[in-house]
Each structure stands twice: as C-alpha cells, then as structure tokens.
Structure 1
C-alpha cells in the first residue's frame, strides 16, 4: 500500500531509484506477459481464465520480489534478476496453459511448444547465474527468486504429467516436495535453517525439470513415462533426506 500512495517502505527509504527501476522492469515484463497471453488466448481459443491465471501467478511472484527488495544490496534490479523474472513470465504462461487447455494431451503441437518453452526457460537458468557473477550482482533476492521460479516450474510440470495420465497422482509429489519441506519448517523451525551450497541439490533440480519435460513429449508414453517419473521422485526423496539428516545433526550439535 505504501508504494501505491507514493511512500517508500522503511527498508527502502533513500533508495527510490532502486524501487522505480525495479517497478519499471517488472511492469514491462507484466505488460509483455499480458500481451502474449491475449495473443495465445485468441490463437488457441482459450478462455479469459488463461489470461487471469497467467497474470495472477506472475503477480504473486513479483509481489515476492518486492517483499525481498528491502534487503537487496545493489542500486539497480540487474540483468540477472531480469532474466529470472522473464523466466517467471514463461513459467506463468506455461502453468496457465497446463491448467486451462482442456485437451492438452490430445494436441501434440501444443505439447511440443510447451516442451520448447520449458527447454528455453531451463537454458536461461544458467544465464542468470552467469550474469549475476559477471556483473557482481549476486544477492539473496536473486537466489530466492531463482529457486522459487524453479520450484514453480517443477510443480507445473508435475501437474501436467498427472493431468495427462503420464504417471499416477503420486507424480505430484515431485512438485509438492519442496513446499512440504517448507511447511515442515514452520512446525519444526530447525528444518528452516540455512543449508550449505550443494552441487547435488542443483543437479537433482535440473534432473527433475529435464525428466518432467521429457515426459511431456508425445512419444513418451506409459509405462516409460511412469518409470522416468519414479526415478526422478526417488532422486528427489534421497536429496531431501540428505538435507534433513544434515539439519538434524546440526541441531544435535547445537
């Protein structure tokens, strides 16, 4: 509400250029997303729920960005964050398509387009990290935004796999696992402690996206799609188990 009335939150006082720069970039991305959503709606004869779902999901993500902005140490939103925010736009459009396109499993062309979008979004995932390091714009905001966009993409893809009957309802656990872990941290605060950087965690995340994307390919059918999903889920469970064991040991030592 403070931003609506032209006031700057306490954590951003004296940093109006950062606020204005961030809002300008996010507004441009939102406008672009709305235009694309309207074009896709017309081309694919989708309802207004598609546009609404795209805008709502992206608004939530951008609201999260503004929530974290007071702790952002740099003067401008930055190239890396722009790439990640653009990925958020792609994920929002993908999620809206999965939820609102009723005959998705019968339309190979749309599936191939979705696979292409997901592959593009995955490729951008490596670019934002490079840009953050290249221009020395690394931040907690960037890391959190990147993680949340990845988590949402995995959730969207797992929902798509379930809706297309590429695997049983259990495939939703791939997308819900992180959110369950976060919820567990509310009940047991020691589970919300910081974890050290891990290549294993990043690798498993990429495997989830690649596997779920592969499952969407029309040529991949049951039971192969279910086997692939089961392997991806098993890797994810093991990765989370390793993190939980680490956090439990840290609590015992404390």
Structure 2
C-alpha cells in the first residue's frame, strides 16, 4: 500500500507557483463564463451557475494542491526516503497534467448547469454538451501526451481518476435535472463512489484489499459511458431514444463494478483478461 507525500512535504516552490497558475486559469474561466451568462440572461442566472460550478472547481484545485508531492515520474509507489522524494518531485506540472487540469475545469463548468436551465431556443442549451464533450475528448489526449512525451506521474494518475469520477457524477446529474437522463442512470455514478468507499472500509478494518488486474473491458466501457453521456446531453437527440439506450449501456458497467469489488475483496479470483 503506497503512501503519498502531501503537498506540504518536499514540494518545490516552482511547482507551488504552477498551482497558483491553475487557480488563475480556473478563476479567469469561471468569471468569464459568469459574465457571459449575465449578458445572455441576468445576474441571477450567473449567480446560480457560480453556486454550482465554484464548489466543484474548488474541490479540484484542493485535490491538486493536496497531491502536488506526488508529481514524480512513473505511477509506482513513491520512495520512502524523504530526501529522495524531494529530489524526485518535478518542479513543473507538465503538458499532460495541464490538460487534465483543464479537463477538470470543463467538468466544473458543466456542473454549473445543475442550477441553470436555459430555454430550448437558447444556444446555452448546448453548454453541458460542449463542456462535458470537450472534457471527455481531452481524456484521451492527456493520457496520450503522458505516454508519448514521457510525463507519466503518480499525480497525473490520481488527477485522471478523480476527475473522471467527478465527471461521471456532475454530467449525469445535469442530464437528470434537465430531463435528458433517467434518475436511475445515477446508479453508475453511485457505483464508482461505493466501490471506493467499500475498498476504504476494508482497509480501515485491516481486511485484505487485493489489486485489480489489467482489464480489456474496463477502459472501453468508461469510454462508452463518456460518449453516451455526451450524446444524451445533445438537444437534438430525442429523450425517447436516450432513455432506452441508457439501460443498455449502464448495465455492463454496473456488472464490471460489482465484479471488481468482489476481486478487491478476495471473493472472486482475479483474471487479467476480464
């Protein structure tokens, strides 16, 4: 079980400055979007959007700050020697992590539409689709950059997983609030958090927690869900089509979550091909 060096331990000052740049980027994008909403509607609509978007963006920035100390090459367990850990921490976020942080802001901006539902004729009806769709597209870009540019880091892996999970929560919630998705589709979002809670509960009770093997279906299924959520948020796709398809696409993902938990709990033998 790996231990993560927190951001206050052995984080280069240059890396802290990169975090402040991320704060400035998120603040600028958030204020610019709010200003655009004021012009398109009114201050009340912008305020509601901020009320939903800011906590999500704030959580992401807190998460990034908390794990800055994990900004080391590779995704394996960090070194136990504090001096070595300090030397290994990269002073720059890198291009791949910058893309991931940008993707996180797009998900936060999409979350703002939980409290803002523009009229059908407004171009803002496309907001959640554009924001979440762009974030989902960048999910492939940051991974590709990390592998090809040689910037794979433990921080990047943590950001990718955390922001994926958050995106799978806020975008379906927007879909439900807007009537685009059935409420039971949120079982997919709940499954991701229940899996993490179950694994954490076992660790706190000193019960064995086994590693998940590589899977040929886990990542493709996540890609299918991202694509489906994006399509579901499209104003041109009839809800009468979205809802039946939701039942088809959510079922295999829920089964994989159930299987994965049985594997980490030791109730099911791990198979690398599954």
TM-score of the alignment, normalized to the shorter chain, above 0.5: yes
- Assess, with a 3 A threshold, how the Cα gap between structure 1 residues 222 and 90 changes in structure 2: closer, same or farther: closer
* CA–CA separation in structure 1 for the residues paired with 2:159 and 2:223: 16
User: Which residue, out of 233, 236, 242, partners 1:225?
Assistant: 242
1:145 aligns with 2:156: no
Describe the SS at the equivalent of 2:265: helix
Which residue does the alignment assign to 2:36?
A: 40
Q: CA deviation at 1:44?
A: 3.5
Which residue does the alignment assign to 1:100?
A: 115
- Assess, with a 3 A threshold, how the Cα gap between structure 1 residues 41 and 153 changes in structure 2: closer, same or farther: same
Which residue does the alignment assign to 1:174?
A: 188
* CA–CA separation in structure 2 for the residues paired with 1:167 and 1:240: 21
5+ long unaligned stretches in structure 1: 1-7
Q: CA deviation at 1:129?
A: 1.1
1:241 aligns with 2:237: no
5+ long unaligned stretches in structure 2: 1-5, 73-89
Q: Which has the higher helix share?
A: 1
User: Which residue, out of 7, 14, 17, partners 1:17?
Assistant: 14
Alignment RMSD: 2.6
* CA–CA separation in structure 1 for the residues paired with 2:189 and 2:70: 28
Which residue does the alignment assign to 2:48?
A: 49
Q: Deviations over 1:124-159 (max 9, x none)?
A: 111111221223221121111112212211212211
User: Which residue, out of 129, 133, 140, partners 1:119?
Assistant: 133
1:210 aligns with 2:240: no
Contact kept, 8 Å, 2:7 with 2:66, in 1: the verdict is no
Describe the SS at the equivalent of 2:213: coil
Q: Deviations over 1:47-106 (max 9, x none)?
A: 413224322211111111111112222231111111011111111111112x121356x3
Contact kept, 8 Å, 2:210 with 2:265, in 1: the verdict is no
* CA–CA separation in structure 1 for the residues paired with 2:191 and 2:208: 14
> TM-score with structure 2 length normalisation?
0.78
Q: Deviations over 1:13-60 (max 9, x none)?
A: 6x222222x223312312322332322321233141322432221111
Q: Aligned residue pairs: how many?
A: 242
Which residue does the alignment assign to 2:76?
A: none
- Higher mean alpha-carbon deviation, 149-158 vs 182-191, is at 182-191
Which residue does the alignment assign to 2:67?
A: 68
Contact kept, 8 Å, 2:210 with 2:263, in 1: the verdict is no
* CA–CA separation in structure 2 for the residues paired with 1:191 and 1:235: 26
